[in-house]
Amino acid sequence: MFSFLKSSRALPGICLGVALVSAPMTGVAEPAGHYGYGASATEEQIAAWDIDVRPDGMGLPEGSGSVDEGMQVYETYCSSCHGAFGEGMGRYPKLAGGDGSLAEDRPEKTVGSYWPYASTLWDYIHRAMPFFAPQSLTDDQVYALTAYVLNLNYIVESDFVANKETLPEVVMPNQDGFTWEDPRPVVSNERCMKDCKESVTVSDSAAGKNLTPSTTGPLDEGITE
């Protein structure tokens, strides 16, 4: 994933001095040893990319935020797109409401009606919000926003404080609305390497039956009215 290329005289006219990752160059990087180019990522560089949070809360950082604190952050960074109470503005999505609408012709997939885990709400806000400046919020601000959006959907009380311990314990209304088992049959069979046929013959094909248009001649060749 991480590679820092050096220029090469063997490739005139091609500039290879471009870093393929925007993480800060901190720590001492070890040579990658692949054709003499690149360097292994440092722990600091890996940490800058390793920001995912699992549904069970694994990966949540230290910090906390209350519903009241989240309301202030929301009014500053979120209300212009998502509305004062999560009702959505223009084509920006709703964050609240939609209870019981998932079985309707036009379901409203909001945090309260659709999302299965509260910890992944924290993860999404942290990664992608606000829309005009993603990853610009502090961890405490993200905790506060998560608490406020959950409160808008009547999932937590107004005195709720979100942190790495309390957030995974929140039970979302649609938590049991997802099917995790894959119903498709297993089709990966072991390759047969014995008693194989010496040759294979084609007994029938679509050629000459006007089932598909010809692709070797004019566009109208092989097509009958």
In a domain? residue 205: no
Q: List the end-to-end C-alpha distance of the chain, in Å, as a whole number.
A: 54
Summarize pLDDT for 193-210 with one digit per residue, the tens: 788 778 888 888 877 777
Summarize pLDDT for 34-64 with one digit per residue, the tens: 677 788 889 999 988 889 999 999 999 999 9
Whether 116 and 157 share a structural domain: yes
pLDDT tier for residue 9 given thresholds of 50, 70 and 90: very low
**pLDDT value at position 84?**
93
Contact 70, 142 (CB under 8 A): no
In a domain? residue 10: yes
Which of 169, 187, 213 is at the close of a domain?
Answer: 169
Whether 44 and 69 share a structural domain: no
The number of folded domains in the chain is 2
CA 39 – CA 23 distance, rounded (Å): 14
Backbone φ and ψ of 61, nearest 5°: -85, 175
In a domain? residue 99: yes
Backbone φ and ψ of 206, nearest 5°: -85, 0
CATH code of residue 87 = 1.10.760.10
Summarize pLDDT for 91-143 with one digit per residue, the tens: 999 999 999 999 999 999 999 999 999 999 999 999 999 999 999 999 999 99
Rg (CA), the chain: 27
Whether 4 and 69 share a structural domain: no
pTM: 0.65
In whole angstroms, how far apart are CA 102 and each of 97, 113, 151?
Answer: 11, 7, 20
Range of the domain at 152: 64-169
3-state secondary structure of 66: strand
